[in-house]
Amino acid sequence: MVRAERKYIDLMRQTTSGLFGNWDPENPIKVGSYGRFDLDTTRFTVLGNIYDQEFQVLLDAVDGRFRMSDYPPELDPVEQDMIITSAGARKQPFDPGADAKKENFKKASFKMSFRHLPNKRSAVLVVHKPRLYHVPCNKVLEVLYRIPELNGLFIIPSVYKCRAWSIYLSSKVEEIVSVALLPSKVGFDLEWWSNSDSDFLRQGTDKDGFVSPLFTAKQKLPLIRRYMRGLPVPDPEPGDNLYVAPVASDRLITLADSQHSWIDGCPGWEPVDEDGYDDPIWEEDYEPPVARVWRRIMCKSTARW
């Protein structure tokens, strides 16, 4: 049995910088959601949203004048098609193959072939006409940093919405998978064509652009003031604008800009093998010490809350 979702999300996390893949884009992750990742399934579990009316109570406790309704999410202009390929996948000129049914590929909005190398799984994500939907400014995150209920949780400050998406996870054999986005034969929408019928091929279109195949997740960088080692770390106070990161000695690394109080999320799940299960090679004797310590610190921090 293959845990395809877990393997795909892990590959997307390795391939992109600060982005998480959504195996089910038609079940979108909303901007402003907060929650945690399930370390077994890698899915993001939503516990609430900063734009919910109930969240205003938490905001009032740290800043009675701040209203999230004054900072609604912003939608950026349409970008060029986004193509993400993990290690083991190679982009190639489009070739539908000799056995392909006749289609008018000249009218395709997108068409490309991908070569997948053998002996390992690789992933491809195509996002057609993406638009970034995001929390509008750093001031929002600065205020949210002071809310203790968000400690140990992840917040979603931005998602990519799109008109169409295509996900593929390879089967550890050498293969060439071709995809094309064509005008629909019914109505004025789009539809996908592919030469693959794999269970790990997932595609969809949405003329309203509500789906979200990619999103960012941020978590708090601990705030530390100078204090004796062994004492508890104090919570941030209103007016704090200096955030520092802990290191392995008495030294402190100063981060002068308060926007660094939120960092790209470290989900904390174990490295996975080619079928999406915990990889047995990553035992304590093999995993790099720095990576092991950081992963375990963040995992404990998330689990504590």
Q: How many CB atoms lie within 10 A of CB 38?
A: 13
Backbone torsion region of residue 199, taken as left when φ is above 0, otherwise alpha when ψ lies between -120 and 50, otherwise beta: alpha
**Looking at the domain assignment, is residue 144 inside a domain?**
yes
**Looking at the domain assignment, is residue 166 inside a domain?**
yes
**Looking at the domain assignment, is residue 155 inside a domain?**
yes
Q: Which domain holds residue 138?
A: 4-220
Strand partners, 169: 123
**Looking at the domain assignment, is residue 275 inside a domain?**
no
Please tell me the predicted confidence (pLDDT) of residue 98.
Answer: 79
Contact 192, 131 (CB under 8 A): no
Q: How far apart are CA 134 and CA 128, in angstroms?
A: 18
**Looking at the domain assignment, is residue 206 inside a domain?**
yes
**Looking at the domain assignment, is residue 260 inside a domain?**
no
The 8-class DSSP code of residue 25 comes to: T
- 3-class secondary structure per residue, 243-305: EEEECCCCCEEEECCHHHHEEECCCCCCCECCCCCECCCCCCCCCCHHHHHHHHHHHHHHHHC
Q: Across all residues in the chain, what is the average pLDDT?
A: 83
Mean pLDDT value across residues 122-138: 95
pTM reported for the whole predicted model: 0.81
Q: Which of 148-152, 254-258, 299-303 has the lowest mean pLDDT?
A: 254-258
Q: How far apart are CA 201 and CA 167, in angstroms?
A: 6
**Looking at the domain assignment, is residue 272 inside a domain?**
no
**Looking at the domain assignment, is residue 242 inside a domain?**
no
The string of pLDDT tens digits covering residues 18-60 is 799 999 999 999 999 999 999 888 999 999 999 999 999 999 9
Phi (first) and psi of residue 78, to 5 degrees: -65, 135
Sheet containing 89-92: which strands, arranged edge to edge? Answer: 89-92, 110-116, 175-183, 190-194
Amino acid at residue number 236? P
Q: Which residue's structure tokens are 């406790």?
A: 61
Strand partners, 91: 114
Count structural domains, the chain: 1
Q: Which residue's structure tokens are 């955030």?
A: 243
b/e per residue, 157-188, with b = 16+ CB within 10 A?
bbbbbbbbbbbbbbbbeebebbbbbbeeeeee
The string of pLDDT tens digits covering residues 204-263 is 999 888 899 999 999 988 655 444 445 554 555 444 443 333 333 333 333 334 444 788
pLDDT band at 1 (very low <50, low <70, confident <90, very high): confident
